[in-house]
A and B are shown apart, each in its own frame.
Chain A
Amino acid sequence: MKMEQKWDDDEPTLIQALIDIQKGLGFLPPEKLREVATSFGISEAYIWGVATFYNIFRFKPRGKTHIKVCMGTACHLSGGGLVAEAAERELNIKVGETTDDQDFSLERVACVGCCMLAPVVVINDRVYPRMSPLKLEEVLIEFKRDKKED
């Protein structure tokens, strides 16, 4: 009943605690998980078990520019897979990875709720509608140029 007590006291629960860490740091570093384990009085292994179960948790830092390619149904049907491949080609990383210089990271998500604008790509929380491999390349070239300039 320990967790229920947490609810009653309106304290963050395990998953919320992990979400909050990730919101601050962009990922879950092992030492933070250790801290959470101590404060919740549960084993580290248990926390890893929970954290790795859910899709939103990441264990490696994100790139400065985080790219989410939608692979929901509508986006898949209108060529989202080709867009994801184009991103992999252009950044020379696979989905789920971050570039060596930490500039870009790539992730696939399942539906961001903009299916009528499919296929969509979300870059740093901005939705880019009706993408194609070519359009994505152009957007990425822009981003790379901006990086060089600053």
Chain B
Amino acid sequence: MIFEEIKKKATAYLQDLESTTNIRVGTPTCGKAAGADDVIIEFRKELEKKGLEIPLIEVGCMGLCFAEPLVAVFKPQMFTILYQNVNTQKVKRLIEGYIEGDDPCFEMALGTLEFDENGLPFIPELKRSEFEKRILLRRCGIVDPKNILHYIGLGGYKGLEQALGMSPDRVVKEINDSKLRGRGGAGFPTGIKWEKCANNSSKKKYVICNADEGDPGAFMDRVILESDPHQVIEGMLIAGYAVGANEGFIYIRAEYPMALEIVRNAKREAEEFGILGDSVLGSSFSFHLRIIEGAGAFVSGEETGLMAAIEGKRSEPRVRPPYPSEYGLFGRSTLIDNVKTFSYVPWIIENGAERFAKIGTENSKGTAIFTLAGKVKNPGLTEVPMGTTLRTIAYEIAGGAPNEREIKGIQIGGPSGGCIPNSLFDSPVDYEVLLSLGSMMGSGGMIFMDENDCVVDTAKFFLDFVQKESCGKCTMCRIGTLQLLHMMEKITKGLANLEDLDKLKNLAEDVKIGSLCGLGKSAPNPVLTTLHYFYDEYVAHVAEKRCPALVCKDLLAYFIVPAKCDRACEHCKLTCPTEAIGGVIGEPKYIIQDKCVKCGTCMNVCPPEYSAVIKVSPVDKLYELKEKGV
């Protein structure tokens, strides 16, 4: 089928869809975990009961994870309304309210879905919409990820069509002019990488999409693959055409079974429609795509490690140069970019480099996607212009910390990034600015911490992660991170002294210098930034044996305040997993400290009207409290 015909078919599909009321339920991994499958089943049942033939489409994620399960009701000539936290009990009301009738069911509504003059979606009722700019996310949660016609109907593969009408050099120039930088972490200028690969005389070349997303707290690549997979494939096709590669790979981590399934389906569809294959859109350009399942290793995300994995080896990074563009997969010239990097490409080709380069800061152009997790009211995903301040993201978009607490820091970029304190939240997001603060853009995962989170414990957590994930090739990374971990354990156990903090800092700096790849080079960042910005907390652990956030188990104890204990209530006693609670009915309960495993159950089950269980740190405080007879 020629592309003109496909487009006609797609337009007809879209017109059909838009001429009827239709329901879209977000069922990405996060939506499913929140119960979206049950909502779908309930919708089917209720619609059937009423004999209503209304299309029910499963879509991806809009990034508004706090509102999941999220349901959008599209009605011709009426507002599209988004409903939040829909459960099976609300389905009937929704059908009778807005789907059959004219009652917008305001009590469940999150807002209306509208599009700006550039066709980018926003939700006027949400204040965060003022600060967001959805380029990569513009179709996420709207388009049916399992229907290529929907994607094409919304203008998909137009960028590819346009690119095929340009010379490959011209496409590379466009990417160069856009000043797009890699979104996989390091921020290398994408155009330069493309140019090097295009200029390589190798007959056979490869394009690889890095969807390993190893940061244990970032999930934007998953969201893009699950919500709008064709966008990534289109970007890879354009890249293949520009650099002269006819084969591509998408490397997806095994922990994302749904992303794998959706991308496999998208590939099949694209092949059926002649978009992937021997003659892309009827041209003389051929491009074949393969999908590879990762086997779970953080270093596999490093580009040379990733290529080793595809070659069936241990994922050990190697020295660069030679860079993949000179000597890559199976020794061929290879272009490797992140999911987001490829996803920007179709938009840039369609809208022109200049429009992309207008967004952002001097050296960081376009938008940036961050995952928002940890202690914030509105966790999820956001896409903002580069240059947006951390404060805007933390408070206007993520909604600040819950329960009137204060955000004390943001860990940006996962285990390779650093922790930035609240006092520096006026800094804009920009590759160089984040680096200058000791952190980095990295994966774009943001983890928010409040007073109840211990930065020392968090730094220890990241070290534990990288130490386990180190491939073992460089001594400094293999043994150095282990030593750092031991030091951190000493600190969190209250066994360290002030001198140890200097040793910690020195070794952390040595590990940075003595490692070959980004894993070891950046592994000390969480320790170094927290030492720098939160030195007091380290001192409290070391000098006072006190964990200010009451997290480090060895430095805290649970205590039941006798005066507050109801005496007749036995909640804590009945639920304690180790029978560590003493005291008979009528007497205040007390904790048998030797038996206590500090799981926190007693504190959670103590009825809020008593709130008799408290945590104390340092442990010695316990004796003080007992002596005082509190």
What residues make up the interface of A, taking CB atoms closer than 8 Å to B? 1, 3-4, 7, 10, 13-16, 18-19, 49-50, 53-57, 71-74, 76-77, 79, 82, 85-86, 89-90, 109-118, 120, 127, 129, 132-134, 137
Give residues of chain B (459-487) contacting chain A, Cβ–Cβ below 8 Å: 461-462, 465, 471
Q: Which residues of A contact B599 (CB under 8 A)?
A: 82, 85-86, 133
Q: Is B18 an interface residue (CB 8 A)?
A: no
Contact A53 B297 (CB under 8 A): yes
Q: Which residues of B contact A89 (CB under 8 A)?
A: 577-578, 597
Q: Is B531 an interface residue (CB 8 A)?
A: no
Contact B255 A113 (CB under 8 A): yes
Q: Which residues of A contact B577 (CB under 8 A)?
A: 86, 89-90, 133, 137
Q: Once the chains are docked, how many angstroms separate the CA of A18 from the CA of B601?
A: 41
Q: Is B359 an interface residue (CB 8 A)?
A: no
How many Cβ-Cβ contacts under 8 Å join chain A to chain B? 139
**Nearest neighbor of B577 in chain A, beta-carbon distance:** A89
Q: Once the chains are docked, how many angstroms separate the CA of A71 from the CA of B465?
A: 9
0/1 per residue, B24-40, Cβ < 8 Å to A? 00000110111000000
**Nearest neighbor of A53 in chain B, beta-carbon distance:** B314
Pick from B217, B310, B600: contact of A74, CB under 8 Å: B217
Q: How many residues of B contact A (CB 8 A)?
A: 60
Give residues of chain B (209-234) contacting chain A, Cβ–Cβ below 8 Å: 215-219, 222
Distance in Å: Cβ of A62 to nearest Cβ of chain B: 15
Q: Which residues of B contact A50 (CB under 8 A)?
A: 312-314
7 contacts between A and B (CB under 8 A): A54-B296, A77-B453, A89-B597, A111-B216, A111-B255, A115-B217, A116-B68
Contact B601 A112 (CB under 8 A): no
Contact A15 B309 (CB under 8 A): yes
Query: Known interface pairs A79-B600, A116-B30. Does A19 touch B295 (Cβ–Cβ under 8 Å)?
Result: yes
Q: Once the chains are docked, how many angstroms separate the CA of A29 from the CA of B28?
A: 34
Give residues of chain B (249-285) contacting chain A, Cβ–Cβ below 8 Å: 254-256
Q: Which residues of A contact B215 (CB under 8 A)?
A: 73, 111
**Nearest neighbor of B249 in chain A, beta-carbon distance:** A7
**Nearest neighbor of B376 in chain A, beta-carbon distance:** A116
Pick from B219, B296, B462, B465: contact of A113, CB under 8 Å: B219
Pick from B34, B216, B254, B312: contact of A73, CB under 8 Å: B216
Contact B330 A4 (CB under 8 A): yes
Q: Is B238 an interface residue (CB 8 A)?
A: no
Contact B297 A54 (CB under 8 A): yes
**Nearest neighbor of B68 in chain A, beta-carbon distance:** A116
Distance in Å: Cβ of B259 to nearest Cβ of chain A: 9
Q: Is B325 an interface residue (CB 8 A)?
A: no
Q: Which residues of A contact B445 (CB under 8 A)?
A: 73
Contact B33 A127 (CB under 8 A): yes
Q: Which residues of B contact A134 (CB under 8 A)?
A: 575, 601, 604-605
Distance in Å: Cβ of B552 to nearest Cβ of chain A: 11
Apart from A73-B411, A74-B379, A77-B453, 7 more pairs, CB < 8 Å: A3-B311, A7-B330, A15-B312, A55-B297, A56-B296, A73-B458, A133-B601
Q: Once the chains are docked, how many angstroms separate the CA of A127 from the CA of B255?
A: 13
Q: Which residues of A contact B313 (CB under 8 A)?
A: 50
Q: Which residues of B contact A127 (CB under 8 A)?
A: 29, 32-33
Contact A85 B600 (CB under 8 A): no
**Nearest neighbor of A83 in chain B, beta-carbon distance:** B599
Distance in Å: Cβ of A132 to nearest Cβ of chain B: 6
Contact B219 A111 (CB under 8 A): yes
Distance in Å: Cβ of A54 to nearest Cβ of chain B: 4
Q: Once the chains are docked, how many angstroms separate the CA of A89 from the CA of B598?
A: 13
Query: Known interface pairs A86-B599, A133-B577. Does A115 touch B219 (Cβ–Cβ under 8 Å)?
Result: yes
Q: Which residues of A contact B298 (CB under 8 A)?
A: 110
Most buried by B among A16, A56, A72, A120: A72
Contact B601 A16 (CB under 8 A): no
Contact A73 B373 (CB under 8 A): yes
What residues make up the interface of B, taking CB atoms closer than 8 Å to A? 29-30, 32-34, 65-66, 68, 215-219, 222, 254-256, 290, 292-293, 295-298, 300, 309-315, 330, 371, 373-375, 379-380, 411, 414, 445, 447, 449, 453, 458, 461-462, 465, 471, 575, 577-578, 597-601, 604-605
Q: Once the chains are docked, how many angstroms separate the CA of A77 from the CA of B419?
A: 14
Distance in Å: Cβ of B381 to nearest Cβ of chain A: 10
Pick from B216, B292, B373, B375: contact of A110, CB under 8 Å: B216
Q: Which residues of B contact A53 (CB under 8 A)?
A: 297, 314-315, 471
Q: Once the chains are docked, how many angstroms separate the CA of A121 from the CA of B295?
A: 20
Contact B330 A13 (CB under 8 A): no
Q: Which residues of A contact B256 (CB under 8 A)?
A: 113
**Nearest neighbor of A113 in chain B, beta-carbon distance:** B219
Query: Known interface pairs A16-B293, A86-B577, A116-B66. Does A73 touch B379 (Cβ–Cβ under 8 Å)?
Result: no
Distance in Å: Cβ of A144 to nearest Cβ of chain B: 15
Q: Which residues of A contact B465 (CB under 8 A)?
A: 110
Contact B295 A56 (CB under 8 A): yes
Distance in Å: Cβ of A13 to nearest Cβ of chain B: 5
Distance in Å: Cβ of A112 to nearest Cβ of chain B: 6
**Nearest neighbor of B257 in chain A, beta-carbon distance:** A125
Contact B295 A1 (CB under 8 A): no
Distance in Å: Cβ of A143 to nearest Cβ of chain B: 17
**Nearest neighbor of A8 in chain B, beta-carbon distance:** B247
Distance in Å: Cβ of A39 to nearest Cβ of chain B: 13
Most buried by A among B219, B256, B445: B219
Q: Once the chains are docked, how many angstroms separate the CA of A116 from the CA of B33?
A: 10
Contact A85 B314 (CB under 8 A): no
Contact A132 B601 (CB under 8 A): yes
Contact B255 A54 (CB under 8 A): no
Contact B292 A16 (CB under 8 A): yes
Q: Which residues of A contact B598 (CB under 8 A)?
A: 82
Distance in Å: Cβ of A2 to nearest Cβ of chain B: 9
Contact A13 B312 (CB under 8 A): yes
Q: Which residues of A contact B34 (CB under 8 A)?
A: 117, 129
Contact A73 B255 (CB under 8 A): no
Contact B297 A3 (CB under 8 A): no
Q: Which residues of B contact A18 (CB under 8 A)?
A: 295
Contact B33 A77 (CB under 8 A): no
